[in-house]
């Protein structure tokens, strides 16, 4: 669908569609779906260009539109005014109506040129004549700038540069009420306002408001759609994807016999569902919750996929001890689950569109312990604390290891004269220890899961020699 620019209120009872929206159509194509009486609205589309509800303007109507800028055009038998005097009104017209053609350049040995045109087919009943166009042209060359407003046979302009003059009544002068059809779409997976149906309607030349019209439904709205008093069409969260129509009526508060109906066509979109893999670390012996919520990094339509819009389910797990809480999204590890790397596959399903499903894998690894080797020099004669803590360069799950999570132990007896404080990690040498190089190992175990451990080597140089 071609995005529609704002229409133009001519302040004289008509709103006009931008000609660029219909640029490139041939006169004959338009004539197949648009009456040429200047009164009856067109019905149908040409390709992506929907003309329904718009009236094809006659030559006289286009001339009257132009007259808002150049009143004297109505006195011209050829409905044409031209000359440098029209540069200003033509430029003003072109600041409102988008250009259907713009060419400029500076050829060698010729003045620069800058040709700006807004042109469109007019309707006509006598098809024996050449199709007519309305055009507003600014030719801003260096040599002799000039401009024109003209309603004339379309002989000189490339058809691709021509749009179609289409209008709808605003009710000015007539006091009429005009409800126009709307299109909208749900803005997000959680629904929201798809369109305001009053935004393109008219009452006596002005946009209707809650102060001037009452809104009502002509037929019950589809489930999930509602019409608010201010004209907003609201799509409820979880409404199934599809296209829905809402038939509404506006009634003048000042004169309740004045009513008009229109149809809002609402597209409820199905949004891209993305499930992203998750990881966690677990102490398998003790169990726990290594992932608080697998949905935390998942999205529906670019927004967080919460249980308000998606349903969670567990697809598979490599061990029964690893499971998904489908209410909270938490991954639970049962105490005593075997040490190792486990994975669980889960699925998320869009509540509103059960065909919209995505899957991801959760990987649960043993808590990562990294005991790193230590070395120090010291005096065998005086002894003392040679290493403040063997934990100082060790890691647990990406952070410095502390005795809150890990326990120090010794896989083998220490050499004589060397002690390791299992609470602080300090290595102490007793005075008058034999000189030499001492090497021993220590072990870091996860307190919550002792099967999860790592070992490192401590090297002490008590030789007294310079390095
Ligand atoms: Ca409307
Ligand atoms: Ca995830
Ligand atoms: Ca260490």
Could you tell me the distance, in angstroms and rounded to a whole number, from the CA of residue 5 to the centre of ligand 2? 41
pLDDT at 3: 46
Q: What is the mean pLDDT of the chain?
A: 92
CA distance 395 to 402: 8
Which comes out higher in pLDDT, residue 441 or 161? 441
Apex CA 50: angle with CA 49 and CA 54, to 5°?
A: 120
* Residue 1 reports pLDDT greater than 60: no
pLDDT over 90 percentage in the chain: 78
For the CA of 233, the nearest ligand: 1
Q: Give the tens place of pLDDT for each residue, 393-412.
A: 998 987 899 999 999 999 99
Residue 316 Cα to ligand 1 midpoint, Å, equals 50
Does residue 317 surpass a pLDDT of 50? yes
Condensed to tens digits (0 to 9), the pLDDT of residues 3-34 reads 456 789 999 999 999 999 999 999 999 999 99
Ligand of minimum distance to the alpha carbon of 425: 3
Contacts of 128 (CB under 8 A, 6+ apart): none
Nearest ligand to the C-alpha of residue 250? Answer: 1
Nearest ligand, measured from the Cα of 347: 2
Q: Which domains does the chain have, with CATH numbers?
A: 8-169 (no CATH), 177-268 (2.60.40.10), 273-366 (2.60.40.60), 369-461 (2.60.40.60)
Span 81-107, average pLDDT: 95
Task: Return the structure tokens found at 320.
Answer: 């029964």
What number is the average pLDDT over the span 109-129?
A: 84
- State the DSSP H helix or E strand holding residue 90, giving kind and residue range, or none if neither: helix 87-96
CA distances 159 to 76, 79, 119, 156, 347, Å, are: 26, 21, 10, 9, 54
Beta strand residue intervals within 128-212, DSSP E: 132-139, 146-153, 163-164, 166-169, 177-178, 182-185, 192-196, 202-203
What token pair was written down for 204?
Answer: 């006596």
Percent of the chain with pLDDT over 70: 96
Ligand 2 center–CA 299 separation, angstroms: 9
The better pLDDT of the pair 138, 301 is held by 138
- The label of the residue with tokens 């307190």 reads 447
With 80 as the cut, is the pLDDT of residue 160 above it? no
Ligand 1: centre distance to CA 181 (Å): 5
Which phi and psi angles does 31 have, rounded to 5°?
-65, -20
Distance CA 449, CA 285 (A): 5
Nearest ligand, CA of residue 348? Answer: 2
Q: Give, as one character, the DSSP assignment of residue 162.
A: -
- pLDDT tens digit string along 274-304? 999 999 998 887 889 999 999 999 999 888 9
Q: How far is the CA of 191 from the centre of ligand 2 (A)?
A: 23
Query: From ligand 2's centre to the CA of 351, what distance in Å?
Result: 17
DSSP per-residue letters across 217-231? ESSPPPTTEEE-TTS
pTM (predicted TM-score): 0.67
């Amino acid at each position: 669908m071609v995005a529609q620019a704002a229409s133009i209120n001519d302040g004289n009872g008509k709103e006009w569609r931008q000609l660029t929206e219909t640029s490139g159509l041939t006169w004959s194509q338009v004539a197949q779906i648009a009456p040429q009486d200047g009164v009856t609205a067109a019905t149908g589309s040409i390709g992506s260009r929907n003309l329904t509800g718009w009236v094809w303007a006659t030559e006289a109507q286009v001339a009257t539109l132009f007259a808002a800028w150049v009143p004297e055009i109505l006195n011209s038998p050829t409905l044409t005014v031209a000359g440098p005097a029209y540069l200003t009104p033509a430029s003003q017209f072109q600041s409102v109506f988008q250009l259907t053609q713009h060419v400029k350049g500076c050829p060698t040995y010729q003045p620069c040129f800058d040709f700006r045109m807004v042109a469109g087919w007019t309707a006509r009943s006598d098809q024996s004549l050449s199709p007519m166009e309305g055009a507003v042209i600014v030719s801003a060359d260096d040599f002799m700038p000039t401009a024109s407003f003209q309603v004339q046979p379309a002989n000189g302009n490339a058809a691709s540069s021509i749009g179609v003059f289409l209008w709808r009544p605003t009710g000015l002068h007539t006091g009429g009420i005009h409800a126009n059809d709307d299109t909208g779409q749900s803005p997000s997976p959680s629904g929201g306002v798809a369109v305001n149906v009053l935004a393109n309607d008219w009452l006596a030349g002005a946009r209707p408001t809650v102060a001037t019209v009452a809104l009502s439904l002509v037929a019950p709205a589809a489930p999930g759609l509602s019409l608010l008093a201010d004209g907003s069409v609201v799509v409820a969260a979880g409404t199934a994807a599809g296209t829905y129509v809402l038939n509404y009526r506006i009634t003048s508060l000042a004169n309740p016999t004045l009513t008009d109906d229109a149809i809002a066509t609402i597209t409820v979109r199905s949004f891209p569902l993305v499930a992203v893999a998750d990881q966690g670390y677990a102490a398998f012996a003790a169990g726990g919750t290594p992932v608080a919520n697998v949905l935390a990094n998942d999205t529906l339509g670019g927004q967080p996929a919460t249980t308000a819009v998606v349903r969670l389910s567990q697809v598979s797990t490599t061990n029964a001890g690893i499971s998904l809480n489908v209410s909270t999204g938490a991954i639970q590890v049962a105490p005593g689950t075997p040490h190792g790397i486990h994975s669980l596959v889960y699925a998320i399903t869009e509540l509103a569109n059960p065909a919209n499903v995505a899957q991801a894998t959760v990987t649960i690894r043993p808590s990562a312990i990294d005991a790193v080797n230590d070395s120090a020099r010291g005096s065998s004669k005086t002894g003392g604390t040679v290493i403040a803590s063997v934990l100082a360069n060790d890691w647990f799950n990406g952070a410095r290891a502390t005795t809150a999570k890990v326990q120090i132990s010794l896989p083998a007896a220490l050499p004589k004269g060397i002690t390791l404080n299992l609470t602080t990690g300090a290595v102490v040498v007793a005075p008058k220890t034999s000189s030499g190089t001492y090497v021993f190992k220590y072990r870091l175990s996860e307190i919550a899961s002792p099967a999860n451990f790592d070992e490192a080597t401590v090297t002490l140089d008590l030789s007294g020699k310079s390095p």
